[in-house]
A and B are shown apart, each in its own frame.
Chain A
Amino acid sequence: MTQADPTYFNEMLNGSDVRAAYESLERWQAAMPADLRSLKQHEAEQLFRRVGITFAVYGEGGDPERLIPFDMFPRVFTAEEWRKLDRGIRQRAAALNAFLADVYDRGEILRAGRIPEHLVTHNEAFEKAVVGMRPSRNVWSHIVGIDLVRTGRDQFYVLEDNCRTPSGVSYMLQNREIMMRMFPQLFLENRIAPVDGYAAALKRTLVSVAPPKCDGTPNVVILTPGQFNSAYYEHSFLADLMGVELVEGQDLFVDGDFVWMKTTEGPQKVDVIYRRIDDAFLDPLCFRSDSMLGVPGLMNVYRSGGVSICSAPGAGVADDKAIYTFVPEMVRFYLGEAPVLENVPTWQCAKPDQCKYVIENLAELVVKEVHGSGGYGMLVGPKADKSQLEAFRAKIEARPENYIAQPTLALSTVPTFVDEGVAPRHVDLRPYCLVGEKIELVPGGLTRVALNEGSLVVNSSQGGGVKDTWVLAE
């Protein structure tokens, strides 16, 4: 690892020079003998298993409780880099919330013609049941996870927004805990901003959106689908850190104007529900009638201000693929500011001039179906052969409105431990922004890393791992 591949932005190396932020890490890894490294790697795995931060995969055979591979080489942001991200993330979270408050109210942004109305009102995630609602403090998405990739020193792109119940924050916290435990020296040599304020900030946020009918200290709970959910450990982990009850639908019931939980001392009123279940399952009387996970009558209590639900039902419309394109527009419209973070440039084949560009540059682009998901019906230009390109060209010409195209992003790389030593691997980043009375963001996030050489896919199901993410203190 002496010379960076110029095709991708290398976060540690500038040519053959080590960037200042990584200097002590370079010394650290160079001084670490291979046997110590594998010992530490083993120790980290043991720690993960023992604290139980696994994710559950049922019905696929094999060990149902799996570990996401943890890479010990941290990813580092300088204070200056983070300042810009911090500003951009908060801005985006504020705009997304303003958008939600607007589209379930007067829909000014639609009237102004900035976003085509049918994209919102005909969207599957648009929840008619909450039109006209005004949740506490008019906050709709209380935990916003914004997925970012980096392609250059100052170039970050937002891949997608997660306004419902973004997961993974337990890894952000545990990765740090484990690094501090295994390599305390690193934390003495580098001044690293702590992330362990997250749980307190989350609790503050949830308490701050208690419903109008709540007098006294708000009773906050986390609502989980149960132990068979893949993120169950995260749910119990957060409940434990915040000191709140982790409840399932069966623990709650509606009586009169309130929601109650069943306790050993009888029913106890619940004021704020941080739900980790989807809208459709919240209330069988309002949404899916076959839901066993929710609480019958919950939505009535919610509408009459007896309980707060975080995120608010209906928040999903803001993180829809079709809406994503317009988030920079939201920032300008609601906040009157220039967007700090950019979207990935997207060409709409529905527009003739853009379609022409796509056809002409097909070999360099990623083409997606507008309503597709999970990588189906997708063309990755640089990896396709001639006949595939031809076939896709025909498809696009036949139904241009069905396709969008984006450049293949050259994701940045971070040094990562591999069998042969240390090698660059591609990464992304998900920070978790909290929106309540205030907007709060802990300095850090979850870095996912594509562990296979050359791979750009960071998903844990396809060989992805996680890293501790450092933000250097000012």
Chain B
Amino acid sequence: MLSRTASHLYWMARYIERAETTARLMQVGARNALLPDIGGGYRNDWEAILQASGSLEPFREKYGETKQRNLETFLFFDEENPASVRSCLARARENARVVRTALTSQTWDAMNSTFQELNQLHRTERSKLSLTDLAEWTSNACALARGSIEATQLRNDGFHFMGLGFTLERADNTARLLDVKYYVLLPSLTYVGSGLDQTQWVTLLRSMSAHRAFQWTYRGEITAARIAHFLILNRQFPRSLLTAVQGTCDNLDHLARGYQNPSEAQSAARRILAELAEARVEDIFDEGLHEFLTRFMRQNAGIAGIVQDTYLTGEPA
């Protein structure tokens, strides 16, 4: 397969995943804004949200104040914000368009109709669109794309490059969401276990569509340790770091098998997987959750770098 084709497939998947994450962040922000703050008034977590999507600075430059209406515009519609849902889905569709020959018509259909609907939404009067609707629309659009890929694409190398895009981006995004919560919203460990913390953690779970899943899995009190375990080490939760890295390993193994040529990316991914498989929550808290997450994001980006060099440039290995 052409390296450029593989690259477009890979990025298409990354952008789909990223769009979904932005939509989740929007939901967290909106929900948090409804919660009373400890010091009176309401909480304003938007800065943390923007920081997580790496767009606090551009937002300040463009809009100044963190008003909810501005935030919605910025996170959903703003084409100048590379992390906005619109930017991500437009890019995903653009990547798809270039490699039409590598996609089934269902997958293309999903990408294309999503884009048409997005333009429709853009033309709709803003007062008629609730943030929740926008976020839900995004999850549905992404589920449609994912479902079409899963149900119709050949299990060839292209499929696994898309798979890699999803799993690498997801691992990164989960780590980021978790990091916002811990690092920015909870600067001091002494808050852990307080009543306020509880609602924040629940918000985090909700943002991952994992609130009920958590209850089913742990059937008990929500503690920081349990949540960390759930989001990082749980093999059942589809967005946990361990599950995502497992997915990355699987995709890399498929590629290596198909090409009959093992890759460095495989060993790098296996190293992370081995570490997560052994890890206990206590170890992570000892290292410091933020430190652990930072290290993880760096390692995950490292795999992406090797994938880029090995497969996506077309240079002789």
Residues of A within 8 A of B (CB): 50-52, 226-227, 233, 236, 239-240, 245-248, 250-251, 261-267
Contacts and interface: CB of A to CB of B under 8 A. Distances in A.
A226 B97 CA distance: 11
A236 B314 contact: no
B250 to A, nearest CB: 17
Interface string B66-110: 000000000000000000000000000010011011000100110
A227 B5 CA distance: 13
B-side interface size class? 20 to 34
Residue among A50, A52, A264 facing the most chain B CB atoms (10 A cut-off): A264
A52 B316 contact: no
Q: Is the interface of A mostly helix, strand, loop or mixed?
A: mixed
B112 A52 contact: yes
B315 interface: yes
Contacts of A226: 98
B216 interface: no
Q: Is the interface of B mostly helix, strand, loop or mixed?
A: helix
Contacts of B101: 236, 239-240, 246
Given A50-B109, A51-B105, A264 B157 contact: yes
A267 B2 contact: no
Given A251-B4, A262-B313, 16 more contacts: A50-B112, A52-B112, A227-B94, A227-B97, A236-B101, A240-B101, A248-B4, A251-B3, A251-B314, A261-B2, A262-B2, A264-B2, A264-B3, A264-B157, A264-B161, A265-B261
A263 B112 CA distance: 26
Interface string B172-199: 0000000000000000000000000000
Interface of B: 1-6, 94, 97-98, 100-101, 105, 108-109, 112, 157, 161, 255, 259, 261, 311-317
Nearest to A260: B314
Contacts of A251: 2-4, 314
B108 A262 contact: no
A251 B157 CA distance: 18
A251 B316 CA distance: 13
A266 B310 CA distance: 9
A248 B313 CA distance: 14
The 3 A-B residue pairs with the shortest CB-CB distance, nearest first, are A262-B314, A240-B101, A264-B311
Residue among B98, B161, B317 facing the most chain A CB atoms (10 A cut-off): B98
Nearest to B261: A265
Contacts of B315: 262, 266
Contacts of A239: 101
Contacts of B3: 251, 262-264
Contacts of A248: 4
A250 B6 CA distance: 14
Nearest to A50: B109
A266 B5 CA distance: 13
